[in-house]
Structure 1
Amino acid sequence: MGVQGFFLAKAGLLAALLLGTAQAQRITVEFWHSMGGVLGEATEALVKEFNASQSRVQVKAQYVGSYDDGINKLLAALRAGRGFPHVIQVYDIGARIMADSGAVVPLEDLARKNGFDLDHLLPQPRNYYTVDGKLFGLPFNSSNPILYFNMAAFQEAGVPFKPTWSLKDLEEAARKLTKKDAQGRTVRYGLSIPIDSWFVEQISYNSGEYFCNNENGRRARATAVAFDNPAAVAFLDTYARLVREGVAANTGRNWADSQSLFAQGQAAIASYSTASLTGVLRQVGNRFPVRTAYYPYLKERNGVAIGGAALYVLKGFSEAETQGAWEFVRFLLEPRTQAKWHLATGYFPVVKGVTELPEVRQAHVRQPNYTTAIQQLATSKVNNASAGCLMGAFPEIRQYVQAAWEEILKGKPAQEALKEAKAKADAALERYNRSVAGR
C-alpha cells in the first residue's frame, strides 16, 4: 500500500469510527400512536422527516392499535413500572386520566423551560387540554364534527346549501332528501350518523350544554354526568324518529358502514370528523360533488369542542431523553409541519398562522372543504361548554351513552334511556374519583 492509500484507509477508518460514535450517542425516543391507514402514513412521514432533519434524536414510531388499545397498554405498562414510551398519543377523553396519572411531564413546563410561547397555540385546543390550570398535552391531531352533503342530491331535491344548521333545519332537509321506491322502501336516506357518543357530546356543547357537571369539570372535578340535557335528548329522539320513518339510516357503531353508504350516494347528509374528509373524498371520487358545513345545534349555536388526540411526554427517563422528546414535539408545532399534517389528513392546524402559508392557501382554494372545521372552530365561543367535558372514566361512560342510543332506536324514549345510562355512568365516575383521591 502506498503512502496515499495508507492515509486514505486511515481517514476512512476514522470516519467510520466517528459515524459509529455519533450513532451510538443518538438519543432514541419511543413514540406510540393510534393512527392507521391514511392517517398512519401521514404520521410515519412526519417521523421520518424529523429523523432526517437532525442527527441528535431518533424517533421510533409504533402503532399500538385503537385509542382504547393505546391507553390500556400504557396504563398496564405504568402499573408494571416499565415498558412505556417517551411520547404517547392519547385521545381527547383521556385528558383527565393522563393528568391524574402522575406520569406526565406537562407540556406547559417543557414549553416554558425551552422558551416556547404557548400563545402560538389556538385558544380552543389549548383550552381543552388544560387541566387544573396547566396544559398537559400537545393537541396534535385535532378535529371537530362536520356535516357532509351530497350536492347532487341537494340540487335534485331543491335544498339550498348553508353553512350553519339547527337540528330542526337538519330534520327538514333530511326529509326532503329521502327517496323511496314504489313499495315505500328507502333507496336514499336523508341522513346517516354512526352510533357514537362523540356526536351526542358535540350536540350538547354546540347548544351551550354541559356533558358533565361542575361546568364540564372545568370549574371543579366532575362528579356526575349531564348527558341527559335537552340538546342530547332532542338529538337522540329526533334521530330515532327519522330511523323509524326510513329517513335516517341505522348503520350501527361502525363509521365505515355509514361512510360507505354516503360514498355510494345512498345517504344525502352524513356527519363525521373533519379527519374523515380525505378518506370520504377518495371514496366518493367523481360520483357527486361534496360540500361540508358546521355541526348542528338545538336552538342557538355555541361552539363545538376539540376531538382527536394529544401527545404526552412521560416521566421516568433521563433529562437528555426528555429533552429529545420535547424536540420532537417542538418539531410538530412548526407551522410548516402543521401545514403538511393538515393537508395530508384534514385535521386542522393548532398553531396560529398556518392558514396564511402559501401552500395552505392554495390547497384551500382547490378544496374549500378543508376550511370548514377551521372556520367552525374560529367562530365557536370559547367557554366551558365548548371546552368539552373533562372527567375520568370517560371511555367507559361513552359505552353507556352508545348503548342508550341503541335502546332509543328500539323505541325507548331518550329521556328514559339516558336516565338509566346516567346512573351507570355516575357510579363509574365515582369509582374513578375514589381511585385517584389524594394523588
Structure 2
Amino acid sequence: MFFERPDSGEVAVLVHIDVQDAKEPEDSSEFLELVRSAGAAPATLIQGSRRTPHSRTFIGEGKVEELRDALQAHHAELVIFNHTLTPSQERNLERELQCRVLDRTGLILDIFAQRARTHEGKLQVELAQLEYMSTRLVRGWTHLERQKGGVGLRGPGETQLETDRRLLRARVKAIHKRLDKVRSQRNQSRRARSRAEIPAVSLVGYTNAGKSTLFNALTSSDVYAANQLFATLDPTLRRLDIPDVGPIVMADTVGFIRHLPHKLVEAFRATLEEAAEASLLIHVIDAGDPERDSHIAQVNAVLTEIGASEVPRLLVMNKIDLLGMSPRLERDDHGHPDTVWLSARDESGFDLLEQALSERLAVDVLDLSLTLAPSQGWLRAQLHELDAVREESYDEQGKTVISIRLPRRDFLQLLARAGENPRDYLPPEDFKEEF
C-alpha cells in the first residue's frame, strides 16, 4: 500500500548526515540493515556533516547536486534518508531530484507493511501509514500547483485534496474503531488469565536480538525468525509449563529500534499492551552487539512510553555461542535471578532460564511433608497428577508419607474442591491472614 513495489529490489541512493546538534545521532550501519530489510538495493551512501539541518532540503544545495549526480550514475529512482524529514523538505527534494524521496519513518513503515500477516497487524500498519501520509497528500497533486486562482481557475486541486483528506479521516476513524474492539478483546483475555492466576511473560528487546528464535525453542513454535530487522511484527501467544509455577502465557512482541516512530508506538499500542500488562518481561539482548548498551536504553525508553517501566524484568543475554561463552545465571544483591546468559540457537542455558523464571514467578511455593491415611488416597492421586510429589514412603501404620512441592495457590484450590480445611494440612506458621 505504501508505495508500489517492483518485482526486484529498487536501486536506492542512501543519505546519512551527522547533525552536530542532534542529541542522539542515527546509526549508519543500522540504516543499511533497514534498507536491506525493506528489499531495496543500496547503490551508494552519501554522507556529510551539518551543524543543523537545512530548513528547505535538510542537506543543502551542494549535497543536492551530489545526490542528483549519484542518481544519474547509478540509474536509481529512489532516495532514502536516515532522518525524519518534514513534508516540505520531502516535497522540495522530490522537486529538485525528480524522483521519490523516503525518510526513516517512511522506510520503517514500509518494512512493517511487508511483515504484517494478521488482520490486526495489517490494520495497525495501515493506521500508522495513513497518519504519516496525512501531511503529505499534496505530493500527489503537484501538477495543480501552477493554478494560482482567478476566474475559472479556482479550486480543482484544493477540492481533490479536501476529498482525499475527508476519505483519509473516515478510514482512520474506522480503523480506530476496529482496533478499539481488538483492544477490548485483548483486555478480556487478560482478565480471564488473571482470574485463573496464569502469569503472563512477554519477550521484549531490540529488533534482531533473537526473541523469536528463543520463543520458538522454548514453546516448540514456528514463528518466523530470520537474521533481519523486524522479522516479527504480529504478536504470538503460547503456553509454557514452568516448574513450581505451572502454566504461563508467553508472548513474542515486535522488536524495538532507535527512534521508533511515535506513530508506530501509538498504532501498535494494542499489541504493546501485552508487555505493559505482563507479570514479567524477558528483555532479550544480543550479547555481542557493540551497541548493546545503547539498544538497552532504547528499549527502556519505549517501555516507559507504553507504561511498562515498572513491570519486573529478567535480562537474557543471547547469542553467547558467537562469543565462545558458557551459559551462566547472575543474581542481584538480594539473591534473585537477574541475568541469564544463553544461546537460543543452540538451546544452551535453557535450564538456567527455566530456573530463573521459576524463582521469579513462583512467589509462594509450599515445600512440606504430609502423612496420609489410606482413606485419603484421592489427595495422593491428585498430588501425583499435579506432579507435586517429590518423595513417597510408608510408615509402620501403613500410612503414606509424601514430600510435596507446589504453588500454595494450587494446593489451596485442590483442598477447596474437596471441601477440606487447610488448617488440617498446613503448619500454623504457614497461615496467612486470609485463613
Compute the TM-score of the two structures, normalised by the length of structure 2: 0.25
Structure with greater strand percent: 2
Q: Which has the higher contact order (CA 8 A, sep 6+)?
A: 1
Compute the TM-score of the two structures, normalised by the length of structure 1: 0.25
Compare CA radii of gyration and give the structure with the larger one. Answer: 2
